[in-house]
Structure 1
Amino acid sequence: MTNDVSPFPAARALLLAHGADTLPHPGGTLLAHLDRVEHRLAAWGARPALRLAGLCHAFYGTDGFAESLLPLDRRAELTAAIGEEAEHLVHFYASCDRDVSYPGLPDPAGPFRDRFTGETLVPSARRRADFAEITAANELDLAALDPEFRTRWGASLLRLLTGWRPLLTDAAFADVRAVLAPRG
Structure 2
Amino acid sequence: MNPDTERTGHASHTHHAGHPDQAVRAALRLLREHGADTLDHPGGTLLAHLERVQQQLARWGARPALQLAGLCHAFYGTDGFAPVLLPPDRREPLRAAIGPEAEAVVHFYASCDRRATYPVLTDPAMRFTDRFTGIGRVPARQEKQDFAELTAANELDIARIDDAFRERCGADLLKLFTRFGPLLSPAARQDCTAVLDRSVSRPLLPPPLLSPPSGTPPSPRPPAAAPRSDPGPGGRR
Mark yes or no: TM-score above 0.5.
yes
Q: Tell me how far apart the structure 2 counterparts of residues 137 and 21 of structure 1 sit (CA, whole Å).
A: 20
1:3 corresponds to: 18
- Are 1:51 and 2:67 matched, yes or no? yes
Q: Tell me how far apart the structure 1 counterparts of residues 85 and 17 of structure 2 sit (CA, whole Å).
A: 24
Is the CA contact (8 Å cut-off) linking 1:108 and 1:124 kept in structure 2? Answer: no
- The one-letter amino acid of 2:174's match is L
2:135 corresponds to: 119
Is the CA contact (8 Å cut-off) linking 2:17 and 2:96 kept in structure 1? Answer: no
Q: Tell me how far apart the structure 1 counterparts of residues 41 and 129 of structure 2 sit (CA, whole Å).
A: 26
Number of aligned residue pairs: 184
Q: Tell me how far apart the structure 1 counterparts of residues 116 and 38 of structure 2 sit (CA, whole Å).
A: 32
1:150 corresponds to: 166
Post-superposition offset of 1:2: 4.9
Q: Equivalent of 1:140, from 149, 156, 164?
A: 156
Is the CA contact (8 Å cut-off) linking 2:73 and 2:110 kept in structure 1? Answer: yes
- Are 1:72 and 2:88 matched, yes or no? yes
Q: Tell me how far apart the structure 1 counterparts of residues 56 and 120 of structure 2 sit (CA, whole Å).
A: 25
User: Which runs of 5 or more structure 1 residues have no equivalent in the other structure?
Assistant: none
- The one-letter amino acid of 1:34's match is L
Q: Which runs of 4+ in 1 moved over 2 A?
A: 1-6
The RMSD of aligned alpha carbons is 1.2
Which digits, 9 at most, give the CA deviation of each residue in 1:109-152, with x for residues without a partner? 11212110112221111100000000000000010110100000
Q: Equivalent of 1:62, from 72, 78, 81?
A: 78
**What SS class does the counterpart of residue 170 from structure 2 fall into?**
helix
Is the CA contact (8 Å cut-off) linking 2:17 and 2:98 kept in structure 1? Answer: no
Q: Equivalent of 2:49, from 33, 45, 53?
A: 33
The structure where helix makes up a greater share of residues is 1
User: Which runs of 5 or more structure 2 residues have no equivalent in the other structure?
Assistant: 1-15, 201-237
**What SS class does the counterpart of residue 62 from structure 2 fall into?**
coil
Which digits, 9 at most, give the CA deviation of each residue in 1:38-66, with x for residues without a partner? 00000000000000000000000000001
- Are 1:129 and 2:145 matched, yes or no? yes
- Are 1:171 and 2:178 matched, yes or no? no
- The one-letter amino acid of 1:118's match is G
What TM-score comes out, normalization by structure 1 length? Answer: 0.97
What TM-score comes out, normalization by structure 2 length? Answer: 0.75
- Mean CA deviation greater in 71-80 or 59-68: 71-80
In our comparison, the structure showing a higher alpha carbon Rg is: 2
- The one-letter amino acid of 2:50's match is L
Identity %: 62
